[in-house]
Amino acid sequence: MVVALWLVDPLAGINIGAYRVSPLAGVAALIIGLGAFVAILTHKRSAFDLTSAMTINGFQLVLIALIASSGNASSPYLPLWITGGLLAYIVGLRTFVPSIIFGAVYLTVLALGEDSIGEKVTFAMVILLPLVFSMLIWRQPKSGGQKQHGTMNELSRKLNENSVQSDLIINSIADGVLVLNDQGIIQVINPAAANILGWKEDALNLDYRSVIKIVNRNDVPVDAQFEPIQQCLRTNETVVNDTLRIQTPAGKSMYASILASPIGKFGQGAIVVFRDTSAQHAEERQQIEFISTASHEMRTPVAAIEGYLGLALNPSTANIDDKARMYLQKAHESAQHLGQLFQDLLDVSKAEDGRIQSKPVVIELATYIGKVLEDFSGQFEEKGLKLVYKQSKEQLATSGTIAPLYYVRADAGHLREVFSNLISNAIKYTKEGDVTVDISSENNRVSIKVSDSGIGIPAEDISHLFQKFYRVDNTDTREIGGTGLGLYLSRRLIESMDGHLDVESTYGKGSTFIIDLPRMTQDDIKQSLEQLSSAAQTPTTPQA
């Protein structure tokens, strides 16, 4: 712009008044502009920075000359000085220091003039303040950028170190480790996992189900709803299971302990840790065989003791005083408890080695459970508890709803045993309040919920509740008897019917046990009824 103003006067003959540029200032501005243009074309970093500094310094010097020759404080070029002053620190001290020197020398010369003190101070602020603001504007971002750059380098170094350490840990542990994304695609597989599975090819970017198959003890694939890895990916919660088996691509099956944990927020994947527990299961099988044999042999003498105590308590066969009757009654109760313990041990041994035989039949749950609950009416009345069965005729009439039909295929005896155990526990661990039983259905599954207002289960005990011989040990439970096998057997029985048993509880507020079973479709029900009808009409051949 300065060059253009310089050329307008002599070439076009236009009088521009106060904007007139002297020949010296015009030539200086032309030289400075050409230098900046050459620096841009060459684009060498060191030359560019040096030329930029010289360009800004020269421009500031030309502006000082123009301001001095066009009226000082009334000069029309003051806005250009303010703009240049704000850019003075952009290259650093190489431009800032000369600008300060130019301004200081010019103000010193001006101070010797005849202007008033107020005018001199105001003009000095106009000259120096842009330079000060330039330092404040450009120095902080540069420092911050250097700091940020250093921080990023440090963070990158730490991440690299952590990555190396993580790889060392994952590759050195004996348990198999798989890292999956949210679609179940393998992102990391450690050598132990490849060795356990006998996988010799590259498993990265493969669906984990093509590398590892989870089956039950009969080598039947587990339903996706209860498969630990699928559960973890679906719910973003940690899932632990030590009752299932892993089947390798070669067809080999082994018992395994499986831990699936989510990675961060929902949808970020999961880490699966597993190990072969076949040897541990073999040892447990030997223990189970011993328990089974011992329990079977001891049932006979215990049954005899219980029988003789019963005869002693019968007024028709024995005459005893009240004190002796009290002692014999306690002995009789203990014998019954011991007999139940041996029976539970036998059932455990059958569950462990797969000798539980299921005889599934078609059951309409609402009616079936209502009949089972009738057997507990006396116990509810004795303890003063209220039973709320939401599928009863009274409850349905009150709510004005029609009773839905929930058909399942299950072993009637096993289902009764499990449900009776849950109701007995609800009565046993509820001091006052009510017990609620409800049935619901979703996604071709039926849920039976048994809720109580009892003492509840501490959070640290919930994960162990279905283990053998495990009982919650606190002041609320020590006076309540039990073997610690009921819930373990109940879960195993439900699993034998392709179902699942779980619990939700808050200590001090009660518990809810949930039985989950496959619901029969209309086609399944029709087919089963036709088979029953056909079997009933088939004539039997009389035996000779």
Share of the chain above pLDDT 70, in %: 73
**Do residues 61 and 99 lie in contact, with contact meaning Cβ atoms separated by under 8 Å?**
no
CA separation for the pair 423, 429 (Å, rounded): 10
Largest CA distance in the chain: 148
Mean per-residue pLDDT, 336-361: 75
pLDDT at 479: 60
Distances (CA, A) of 424 to 162, 374, 401, 480: 53, 13, 29, 12
Of 8-22, 328-342, 421-435, give the lowest mean pLDDT range: 8-22
Segment among 17-21, 117-121, 341-345, 350-354 with least mean pLDDT: 17-21
Condensed to tens digits (0 to 9), the pLDDT of residues 161-210 reads 666 666 677 777 888 999 999 899 998 888 888 888 888 778 888 999 88
Q: From CA 86, how far away is CA 486, in angstroms rounded?
A: 83
Residues belonging to the chain: 544
Q: How far is CA 435 from CA 377, 389, 521, in A?
A: 12, 8, 30
Q: What is the mean pLDDT of residues 381-408?
A: 82
pLDDT score of 388: 92
Residue 313: pLDDT band by 50, 70, 90 thresholds?
confident
Residue 74 is given by DSSP the state G
Half-sphere exposure for 281 (CA within 13 Å, toward CB): 17
pLDDT at 202: 82
Torsion over CA: 216, 220, 226, 228 (sign):
positive
Is the pLDDT at 103 greater than 80? The verdict is no
CA distances from 229 to 215, 221, 498 (A): 12, 13, 18
What 8-state DSSP symbol labels residue 136? H
Mean pLDDT of the chain: 77
Q: What would the mean pLDDT of 122-148 be, rounded to a whole number? A: 65
Mean pLDDT of 105-126: 71
Q: Which helix (H) or strand (E) holds 275?
A: strand 270-276
The structure's pTM equals: 0.49
- SS3 at position 510: strand
Candidate CATH numbers 1.10.287, 2.40.50, 1.10.1740, 1.10.3470; the one for domain 281-352:
1.10.287
What does the DSSP 8-state code read for residue 242?
Answer: S
Is residue 339 within 8 A of residue 303, CB to CB? The reply is: yes
| Most confident among 23-32, 70-79, 495-504 (mean pLDDT) | 495-504
List residues bridging with 301 in a β-sheet.
none
Which of the pair, 153 or 442, is modelled with greater confidence?
442
DSSP 11: I
Residues 517/522/526/531 CA torsion (nearest 10 deg): -30
Q: Domain 173-276 sits in which CATH superfamily?
A: PAS domain (3.30.450.20)
- Please report the pLDDT score of residue 127 as a whole number: 73
Q: How far is CA 397 from the centre of its chain?
A: 42
Q: What pLDDT does 114 receive?
A: 65
Range scoring the smallest mean pLDDT among 29-33, 42-46, 96-100? 42-46
- Indicate if the alpha-carbon torsion angle 436, 504, 488, 304 is positive or negative: negative
Q: What is 360-528's CATH number, 3.90.1170.50, 3.30.540.10, 3.10.129.10, 3.30.565.10? A: 3.30.565.10
- Express as a percent the part of the chain with pLDDT over 90: 16
The confidence band for 43, taking pLDDT boundaries of 50, 70 and 90, is: very low
Q: Where are the alpha helices (DSSP H) in 253-385?
A: 278-313, 322-352, 365-374, 377-383
Give the pLDDT confidence score for residue 162 in this predicted structure.
62
H or E element at residue 65: helix 45-69
- Of 183, 174, 234, 232, nearest in space to 205 by CA: 183
Residue predicted with more confidence, 505 or 164 = 505
What pLDDT sits at residue 312? 86
